[in-house]
Amino acid sequence: MTTSKNIALLIDADNASPSGLDPALTVLAELGSVNIKRAYGNWSKAGLKGWAALTQRYAIEPQQQFDITKGKNATDMKIAIDAMDLLYSGQVDGFGIMSSDGDFMPVAMRLRQSGLPVYGFGTERAPEGFREACTRFFDLGELEQAQSNGDKPDAADVDAAVVTLLSEAWKASKRDEKGYASLSGVGQRASSRSSFDARNYGFTRLSDLVASLPQFASERREGGMVFIKRVR
């Protein structure tokens, strides 16, 4: 019997919108069980009113952090401390960090150095360093849009860097005599080099994203496995 992975979601309520919570939890539900949910901030501020309304609905533990020094945000330090406590407890299999603050880059790096995956959730404002420090980074704006309107994405939504990333992963993968490589293997190589995830481009699955790209050909073989090759 396979045991679901225990994931801790740590929310920087000062730097995350409540509207992104449901999309983030939807993604994490595919990766494990989110048994620990904590939101950090100064709850006396009116700006966190939206988050306060969600704490009971989603069983989130609100973590109070006063602004002890004017102009300084102590929330980041509290999240970092809790992340280390959870890491050394040995009870957590992965972390979700919901923030667009680049200060969490070293936290994500440290958690990954201990062998645990880190899933980042933020906006397009999130610094590249934090994005790349995460095992996967999800753009909440893209997730919210896909969830709200259900529009079918197309290749125009995929930038050239992603095509290059997939091409390099395909070249590094074992290919058959026709030049096809397993899509799962290509995806694993791409993810190991970057925080890339198909959902950031509105696609539910990597196979759907690749199928939209004219640079690749794909075919589904026995057992449902998908294989791809670069054709242009």
Could you tell me the mean pLDDT of each successive run of 10 residues in the chain, 232 residues long?
Answer: 78 91 85 90 87 89 78 79 95 95 94 96 92 92 72 64 86 88 82 71 79 86 79 84
CA–CA dist 41, 51 (Å, integer): 10
CA–CA dist 190, 46 (Å, integer): 42
Same domain, 211 and 194: yes
Same domain, 131 and 211: no
CA–CA dist 122, 220 (Å, integer): 34
Same domain, 188 and 96: no
Q: What is the pLDDT of residue 115?
A: 95
Range of the domain at 103: 6-149
Q: What is the pLDDT of residue 3?
A: 60
pTM across the whole model: 0.70
Same domain, 22 and 97: yes
Q: What is the pLDDT of residue 223?
A: 64
Q: What is the pLDDT of residue 1?
A: 42
